[in-house]
Amino acid sequence: MSGPFLTGDKALERLGDMTGLVCGIADREGIGVYETKLLERYLLDMEAALRARDVERAKSLVMRLLIEVLGYDSVRAKFVMYNHLNKNAGWG
């Protein structure tokens, strides 16, 4: 699959946008045509970050998910990243 995918910081920025969109939809009336189109675009944009196979970007992505989706503070998110993922996934 090819297309106008975003990479790097722009792709990670879109993850934040997508997180806000998903949480906002869940909190309000649900998903409609407009929200569906936005989600499709954000998911395609995020694909580039995963295709790059860049561990540092992957770590940044996980940190952002821990903070923005799970509500961890940055200290706890770093603890999870360095003491769990590094050991168990061999990313150390």
13 and 43, same domain (yes or no): yes
Encoded amino acid at 1, one letter: M
Q: What is the pLDDT of residues 24-56, one digit of tens each?
A: 666 776 677 777 776 676 666 566 667 777 667
> Is the residue at 1 inside a domain?
no
Provide the 3-class DSSP secondary structure of residue 70. Answer: coil
Report whether 14 contacts 46 (CB < 8 A): yes
The domain of 75 spans: 54-92
Question: In whole angstroms, what is the distance from residue 86 CA to residue 59 CA?
Answer: 10
36 and 73, same domain (yes or no): no
Q: Which pTM does this prediction carry?
A: 0.44
Question: In whole angstroms, what is the distance from residue 13 CA to residue 7 CA?
Answer: 10
> Is the residue at 34 inside a domain?
yes
pLDDT interval class at 87 (50, 70, 90): low
Question: In whole angstroms, what is the distance from residue 50 CA to residue 72 CA?
Answer: 23
> Is the residue at 2 inside a domain?
no
Report whether 59 contacts 81 (CB < 8 A): yes
Structural domain count of the chain? 2
